[in-house]
């Protein structure tokens, strides 16, 4: 069991690095940090490792420069996202309750799209703007409630996954693509069932 867990984690990490997905990599780091913090045996080590990593980033220019560039959205991908978010925010000011509607963002955003040097994407690549645009303000509230309920019932297994989804979702689309939506609910089911089974076994013993 542990072999497959580590194999899955390693494969995901390699795939993320190969895709050069900064958001995905930060999501993995967030998941690992939450998982290690949640476990009392690894909490101090995780905090120490985080402090050391932060110090290295701050003190080593060869590392600090690309990190600052990516986190401040100075690269091409970052600039595109800033434009998308600005346009989506402007559109949502005119459609605050219902958003654009399911699958309607590419059409509704057209009057607000002035950056003709870039294409119109299917979603605005931010978890809040994605949800708001697709499902309206009620959809945002419902999804937040789902994450809170999942975190409570899934415990230590769910929280790292939620952290990865939210952090990655700050700059991407972690739900509305068909395969990711299915994966989301599979993760909800697996982590919740596993947590309940673990609790039941502890009570039985």
Rounded to whole angstroms, how far apart are CA atoms 122 and 110? 12
Mean pLDDT to the nearest integer, 82-87: 96
Considering only 112-126, 131-145, 165-179, 185-199, which range has the smallest mean pLDDT? 185-199
What confidence tier does 132 reach under pLDDT thresholds 50, 70, 90? very high
Whether 7 has a pLDDT exceeding 80, the answer reads no
What confidence tier does 3 reach under pLDDT thresholds 50, 70, 90? low
What confidence tier does 24 reach under pLDDT thresholds 50, 70, 90? confident
Whether 114 has a pLDDT exceeding 80, the answer reads yes
Rounded to whole angstroms, how far apart are CA atoms 25 and 142? 27
Retrieve residue 38's tokens. Answer: 């949640």
**pLDDT over 70, % of the chain:** 95
Mean residue pLDDT across the chain: 88
Whether 1 has a pLDDT exceeding 60, the answer reads no
Residue whose entry in the numeric block shows the structure tokens 């699958």: 103
Report pLDDT for 131: 96
Mean pLDDT to the nearest integer, 112-117: 92
Mean pLDDT to the nearest integer, 92-107: 95
Stated length of the chain: 205
Report pLDDT for 2: 58
Cα-based torsion angle of the residue sequence 137, 138, 141, 147 in order, rounded to the nearest 10 degrees: -120
Rounded to whole angstroms, how far apart are CA atoms 170 and 152? 22
Whether 44 has a pLDDT exceeding 90, the answer reads yes
Mean pLDDT to the nearest integer, 134-153: 94
What confidence tier does 163 reach under pLDDT thresholds 50, 70, 90? very high
Rounded to whole angstroms, how far apart are CA atoms 123 and 108? 11
Q: Cα 169 to the chain's mean position, in Å? A: 3
Question: Which sign does the torsion angle of CA 110, 116, 120, 121 carry?
Answer: negative
């Amino acid at each position: 069991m542990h072999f497959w867990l580590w194999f899955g984690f390693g494969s995901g990490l390699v795939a993320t690095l190969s895709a050069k997905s900064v958001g995905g990599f930060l999501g993995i780091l967030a998941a690992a940090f939450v998982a290690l913090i949640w476990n009392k045996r690894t909490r101090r080590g995780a905090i120490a490792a985080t402090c050391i990593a932060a110090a290295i980033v701050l003190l080593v220019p060869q590392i600090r420069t690309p990190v600052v560039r990516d986190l401040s959205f100075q690269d091409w991908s970052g600039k595109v996202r800033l434009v998308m978010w600005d346009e989506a925010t402007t559109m949502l000011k005119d459609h605050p309750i219902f958003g654009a509607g399911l699958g309607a963002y590419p059409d509704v955003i057209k009057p607000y799209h002035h950056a003709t040097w870039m294409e119109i994407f299917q979603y605005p690549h931010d978890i809040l703007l994605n949800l708001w645009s697709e499902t309206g303000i009620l959809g945002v509230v419902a999804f937040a409630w789902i994450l809170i309920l999942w975190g409570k019932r899934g415990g230590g297994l769910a929280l790292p996954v939620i952290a990865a989804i939210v952090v990655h979702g700050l700059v991407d689309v972690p739900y509305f693509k068909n395969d990711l939506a299915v994966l989301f609910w599979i993760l909800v089911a697996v982590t919740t069932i596993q947590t309940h089974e673990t609790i039941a076994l502890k009570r039985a013993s």
